[in-house]
Structure formats: C-alpha cells, structure tokens
Amino acid sequence: MMFVYTVRAGDSLFGISQRFDIPMEMLQTVNGLATTAVVPGQALLMPSDTYVVQSGDSFWTISRMAYVSVDALRAANPDIVPEELQTGMRLNIPGIERRVATHFSYTQLRTPALDSALIADHAPYLTYIGLFETHFNWNGDLSPLNDSAAILTSWQNRVTPVLAVTNLTAAGFNRALVQRVLNTPAVQARLIDNMINMATTRGYGGINVDFEGVRPADRGAFVSFLQTLKARIQPLGLNLSIAVPAKMDDTVPWAYGYDYAAIGAVVDLFFIMAYDWHHAGSEPGPTAPIENVRRTVSYAASLMDRSKIIMGTPFYGYDWVIPYTGAVPGVAITYQAATNLAMSEQVPIHYSETDQSAYFYYTDDAGRNHVVWFEDVRSLFTKTQLVYNERLGGIGTWQLNFAMPQYPWVFTRYFQIRKA
C-alpha cells in the first residue's frame, strides 16, 4: 500500500520520515532522491500500508492522497469515526483488486552491458520491450542494431523483445520515406522481407511499427501495408504492434493518416502515444493533459477491442525559456532531471489539478526565466487509474532510459503485469 505526500513549506525529508514512520533512506530510494533538499509542492511516494493523521486531515483529503474512495477508506477503518479524527491516529490504507495488464515500454539501446542491466532491472514490471530502433532507407533496407545482449536478457527474464522499426533519420522522422514505402510496391516488399528476416534471425517476439508523419493521402495504403505485414508474420508467431499519435477524433488533419478503426482491426497491440500535446516546438504547457488523454482513450475504445489498447504515458516533460517567443525551442527533460533541478534551485513545485501535471519556474545562470512542465507521481497515478478504470489492455511508457523510480510501485498496485 502507499500514498502520496506533497511537501509543505518548512518540511524536511527527515521530519516527514519521522511523522509517517518511514525510514528516510527508503523515501530517498523509492523517489530517486539524490539529496534530501525537498521543496514545497514536491510529491513523494510513501510506501506504507498505514497513514498517520496530520493536522487538518479529513477522510476526504486522506482518500485523495491514497487514491482510494472515501467509502473504501471507511470500510478499512470501521472503528474510526471520521468526525472524530485526531492527529496521530493511524489509518489502514485499503488495497484494490489488481487486474492483469500489459506493460509495453521502449529502451534506446546504448551498450550491451547497459542494455542488459536496465532490462533485467525492469523485467518484473514488463511484458514487452521495444528495442529502439532500426530505421529503413529509400530502398527498404534496415539499419543494424547491436541488440543480441538485450534480446537474450529479455527472454531470460520473461520479457518479449520487440523490433521497433521507424522512419527516423538524422534530421528526425521523415514522412517522405513512409510515402515511398507505401506507394512503391518493390520497396515495400523489400522492407517487409527485411523486417521479417531481422525479427526471426535475431530472435525477436514481435515487430513494432513506428512510422510517424503518415500523410492523409496514404491512410488506406498504410492499413494495406499493415495487413500484408500481419499476414506474413502471424504464421511465424510474431506479435504486431503499432505506435500511433494521439487524437480525440478523426478531424485532426496531421493525424488523419492513421485510421484508428482499420488499424485496430489489424494489429495485436495499439500503443497510443498519449503525450506531446505540448512539445519542444510549441508554447509551454503540459505534455499529457489528462482531459485530452481521456478523450483520446474514449475515442480509440469506441473503434476497437479495448483489450488491444496500450495507453502510452511519458516519463518526461519540457523546459522552456519564458516569455515564449518561438525563437528558443523547449528542451526535453526527464522526471528525474526535472525533480533534481527544482531541488537544486530550491524553487517550489506547482501542480495543475486540471491537467494533472506538475510545473515550476526558475532563473538560469544567464538570467533567463524558465518554466518546466513534467509528469510526476501524481500524474502517473491518475493515468494508471484511467487505464485500470477503462479496462484497457495495458499501459505503455516512453521510455525506460528516463528514470521514473516510482512507476513499479504504482503499476503493481493496480496491475498484475502480464508475462511472456
């Protein structure tokens, strides 16, 4: 069991550990704290099956911290009268019935030793790991991957390794490459042959198609490509998954190339990249505002078997110079880096209840003002609850190289992770 405590002005990590009877070292480990210099507004995951009542608490405020209903909290504490709550009382935090769910994540391969260590560390909480990435060229040939150690470690730990195939280039995702593959039969046939050859000879359990920037005019051709690929790999026992941009309806021009219903009928897993509503090239804001995520999930679930849907969540945010003019793009920042930055700058962290996302302001050494929006443990709880309540196939994350130390605690509170 667990709850989330939000640091208040005047708090110290030592004092928090004393008040809630949780060792300070455990709080540091669970929350990935490099120092003890916590700041007001910082959310801490508190691993405990009891809650020590603080001044000003009520059953309602405690239920929100523990992400349970007031009724469930009352049922777990039948001898305590809510109106007679007193500081120092201990309340039992109720558990919930876990559901079997998939966790699909990615890792950007680095070195065999680092890749193996990371996969082994996360394996208990993983179903699929997309090894990122191999990309295709104008002829349908694939770039090499130093993937042997990662593949072996995955299977040894009951995680299915997945070949992530993209249209990435040194300049970013190249939509012209996708256009060529979808409209040139010989190149498409060569690419599919190469994907299958690489997946089977290297020992993968599936293929993940991450073609970004599919043109609206290629909407039907993209579905046909996936149907052809699926027909080829299904007899081989390979899983087919896709990463698609988030959209709340079918009127978004730049995402019209992705026919949710038709794609959902073909693939085994439908990974929605439910993030980047705000990004490096946009004005500042939350990367995954919860209402947009909810609407995207609702739209997708209306068009396909919801057990196929993997709702992707970000382990990152962005840092922008303000006032924003567009001249200086934002910079991606991981949860861990954002938290460390707020602590080193000793600035308070704010939280948007509307967006379910954290943010803070700071001034850099050059005197420029910044705002950082990022996903914290509260954001993660809210999104995990959404997957749980909507009975989706599972949750996805981008990506394991971005440390989010609380995620195993949160995911395993709600889910029994499906294993290979």
Which tens digit of pLDDT belongs to each residue from 112-170? 999 999 999 999 999 999 999 999 999 999 999 999 999 999 999 999 999 999 999 99
Which tens digit of pLDDT belongs to each residue from 248-272? 999 999 999 999 999 999 999 999 9
Nearest to 223 by CA among 194, 192, 256, 266: 266
CB 120 within 8 A of CB 402: no
Q: Which whole-number Å values give the CA distances from 103 to 155, 174, 306, in the listed order? A: 15, 28, 15
Which tens digit of pLDDT belongs to each residue from 324-374? 999 999 999 999 999 999 999 999 999 999 999 999 999 999 999 999 999
Which tens digit of pLDDT belongs to each residue from 346-357? 999 999 999 999
Q: Distance between CA atoms of 90 and 20, rounded to whole angstroms?
A: 9
97 is catalytic: no
Q: Distance between CA atoms of 324 and 8, rounded to whole angstroms?
A: 30
pLDDT at 157: 98
Domain chopping of the chain, boundaries: 2-92, 100-315+379-417
Average pLDDT, stretch 288-306? 98
pLDDT at 420: 77
Question: Could you give the percent of the chain with pLDDT greater than 70?
Answer: 100
Amino acid present at 109: L
The mean of the pLDDT values for the chain is 97
**Backbone conformation region of residue 96, classed left if phi is above 0, alpha if psi is from -120 to 50, else beta:** beta
Among 133, 212, 345, 390, the one annotated catalytic: 212
pLDDT at 1: 87
pLDDT at 49: 95
CATH for 2-92, options being 3.30.1360.10, 3.10.350.10, 3.90.1150.10, 3.30.450.40? 3.10.350.10
Q: Distance between CA atoms of 149 and 115, rounded to whole angstroms?
A: 7
User: Strand, helix or coil at 327?
Assistant: coil
Nearest to 128 by CA among 100, 106, 96, 156: 106
Query: Kind and range of the H or E element at 241?
Result: strand 239-245
Q: Distance between CA atoms of 163 and 199, rounded to whole angstroms?
A: 6
Q: How far is CA 224 from the centre of its chain?
A: 29
Which tens digit of pLDDT belongs to each residue from 76-118? 999 999 999 999 999 999 999 999 999 999 999 999 999 999 9
Q: How far is CA 406 from the centre of its chain?
A: 12
Residue 408 has pLDDT above 90, yes or no: yes
The sheet with strand 369-374 has its strands ordered as 331-334, 316-322, 369-374, 357-363, 350-352
Average pLDDT, stretch 389-414? 97
Take residue 380 and report the two structure tokens written for it: 């993660």
pLDDT at 148: 98
Query: Kind and range of the H or E element at 83?
Result: none
Residue 188 has pLDDT above 80, yes or no: yes
Q: Positive or negative, the Cα torsion across 116, 417, 311, 220? A: positive
CATH 3.30.360.10: does it fit domain 100-315+379-417? no
Q: Which residues contact 297 (CB under 8 A, 6 or more apart)?
A: 272, 274, 309, 311, 386, 390, 392
- Look up tokens 């993997």; give the residue: 310
pLDDT at 222: 98
pLDDT at 125: 98
Please give the angle made by the CA atoms of 259, 238 and 144, to the nearest 5 degrees: 90
Residue 26 has pLDDT above 80, yes or no: yes
pLDDT at 192: 98
Whether residue 42 has a cis bond before it, omega within 30° of 0:
no
Q: Distance between CA atoms of 246 and 271, rounded to whole angstroms?
A: 9
What DSSP string describes 23-62?
A: -HHHHHHHHT-SSS---TT-EEEEE-SEEE--TT--HHHH
Which tens digit of pLDDT belongs to each residue from 204-239? 999 999 999 999 999 999 999 999 999 999 999 999
